Amino acid sequence: MPFCEVASPQNAAAADAKLNDGIKIFYETYGRGPTKVLLIIGLAGAHDSWGPQIQVLTGSVAPNDDERTAAAACCDNEAGFSGGDIEVCAFDNRGMGRSSIPTKKSEYTTRTMAKDAIALMDHLGWTEAHVFGHSMGEFMFSALTELQTSDVNFVTTTGAMIACKLAAMVPDRILSLALLNVTGGGFECLPRLDRQTLSIAVRFFKAKTPEQRAAVDLDTHYSKGYLEEYVGSNTRRAILYQEYVKGISATGMQSNHGFEGQINACWTHQVTRKEIELIRSAGFLVSVIHGRHDVIAQIYHARRLAEKLHPVARMVDLPGGHLVSHERTEEVNKALMELIKATEAKTEPHDWTNLPETSSGWMVTRISRIRKSSAEGRSVSFTSSISEKLHLFLLYLFGLFSLALENGRRALRTIKPARVGHAIT
């Protein structure tokens, strides 16, 4: 099986002494060609979650070490792309799948996980690559659910955060950057606090079986309109439900150490102003791809990130949910191929971006009006700070309420009802 030893002599530049000692990253490569694409999945997601994208990029979903690859590589995919020029690598982040699972939360940060990706590129002998990362993810639902159960089986999240950090750390090795359903980490991991979100969170708490979990996952990953569409005589919801139940039952759950560590990576992630400037000035093109009906990763944060990266960024706003790469596969794959082709054609940033010329300047002007400089020379947005703290406080109260409700239910189950005789009438 293909593994990359993060702290091996070959990857010494990416190793941080004892931090990466013994850490192995499981990966698969697909297709062959001079163009290299590194796919980074998110929280509790495995490398094969990129299946729809691997199919279009390489023409096959059979790994290069699979004996079926030779036969599969002869077939063109539905997009008409032969897959003869691209080699793709997808891997399991530390804490997930067949990769190592460190036991300390401090061993999981987006910076550390980005170094894993750098070590993998070194291991493969890739000097440069297109880097595509998916999501921020169902972070807050996962954190709330983890308080009362270890049955975690999500398919997305920190990948775009890791990709962002990677691009800031080694901008000279990035050919292009695609960020799918991304936010900036920390408080931006919090979903919208509305009736739909709260309803999903409550159902997460109550889910005890693969069937119950599958039903909730569908509403978390996809838009309502997509789930209600008919494919033949059945709705997509009915078809996907059976697939989810089968998948959850067969694959098992992520370990507590891996889950808690990746949660820590989400919560501690932040993209600094310096890192934004490093990405913006590096010269490569960026696509920020987001499903506008995502109930978890708010599109507002993704759009704001794209505006900060103007003029190198393009915003791709699609009518999909959190798993927009599965729900709107054709549109996402088209956007990714356009990014690769624009890079090869050396397209100028101002010809690439679809954001208004004034968007970046407008943001700077607006922010400068509401910021107050601190004694250390750092700035803080007063209005944004109040809003963020209120959001956190309300979600914290909801978490306490849900936890108290669950504990109350457990306590009631332990109380044996007293026997009473029949009433005398």
Residue 106 falls inside a structural domain: yes
Residue with tokens 């798993």: 323
Q: Which two tokens stand for residue 32?
A: 């062959």
Res 255: pLDDT: 66
Dist CA 358 CA 264 (whole Å):
36
Mean pLDDT of 145-168: 58
Name the pTM for this structure.
0.74
d(CA 51, CA 261): 25
Domain count, the chain: 1
The pLDDT confidence band at residue 73, using thresholds 50, 70 and 90, is very low
pLDDT band with cut points at 50, 70 and 90 for residue 208: confident
> Is 189 a residue whose pLDDT tops 90?
no
* pLDDT, tens digit, 9 for 90 and up, residues 119-152: 999 999 999 999 999 874 333 333 333 333 333 3
Q: Is residue 233 part of a domain?
A: no
* 381 within a domain of the structure (yes/no): no
Cα Rg of the chain (Å, integer): 23
Query: How confident is the model at residue 2, as a pLDDT?
Result: 93
Could you tell me if residue 178 is inside a domain? yes
Domain range spanning residue 112? 3-225+253-355
pLDDT at 42: 75
pLDDT at res. 182: 84
pLDDT of 326 over the 60 cut: yes
pLDDT at 95: 85
> Is the pLDDT higher at 64 or at 143?
64
Would you say 27 and 3 are in contact if contact means Cβ atoms under 8 Å apart? yes
- Residue 330 falls inside a structural domain: yes
Q: Residue 288: beta bridge partners?
A: 179, 315
Q: Which residues contact residue 213 at a Cβ distance below 8 angstroms, ignoring those fewer than 6 apart?
A: 151, 153, 207, 244, 248
Which of 133-137, 196-200, 234-238, 292-296 is most confident?
Answer: 234-238
CA distance 67 to 50: 20
Cis peptide before 311 (omega within 30 of 0): yes
* pLDDT value for 207: 76
Q: Are 262 and 93 in contact (CB under 8 A)?
A: yes
| Of 39-43, 364-368, 394-398, the least confident | 364-368
Domain annotation covers residue 110: yes
Lowest mean per-residue pLDDT among 14-28, 66-80, 193-207, 348-362: 66-80
Q: Note whether 59 and 84 are within 8 A (CB).
A: yes
pLDDT at 362: 38
Q: What is the 3-state secondary structure (H, E, C) of 31-100?
A: CCCCEEEEEECCCCCCHHHHHHHHHHHHCCCCCCCCCCHHHHCCCCCCCCCCCCCEEEEEECCCCCCCCC
Whether residue 281 is predicted with pLDDT greater than 60 in this model: the reply is yes
Residue 133, in any domain of the structure: yes
Check residue 421 and report its DSSP letter. P
- HSE-up of 56 (CA within 13 Å, CB side)? 18
417 pLDDT band, cuts 50/70/90, is low
- Could you tell me if residue 246 is inside a domain? no
Question: Helices 110-124 and 256-268 meet at what angle, rounded to 10?
Answer: 110
Q: Are the CB atoms for 109 and 100 separated by under 8 Å? A: no
Beta strands 230-231 and 129-134, pairing class:
unpaired
Q: What is the pLDDT of residue 158?
A: 60
pLDDT of residue 23 exceeding 80 = yes
The domain that holds 289 is classified in CATH as 3.40.50.1820
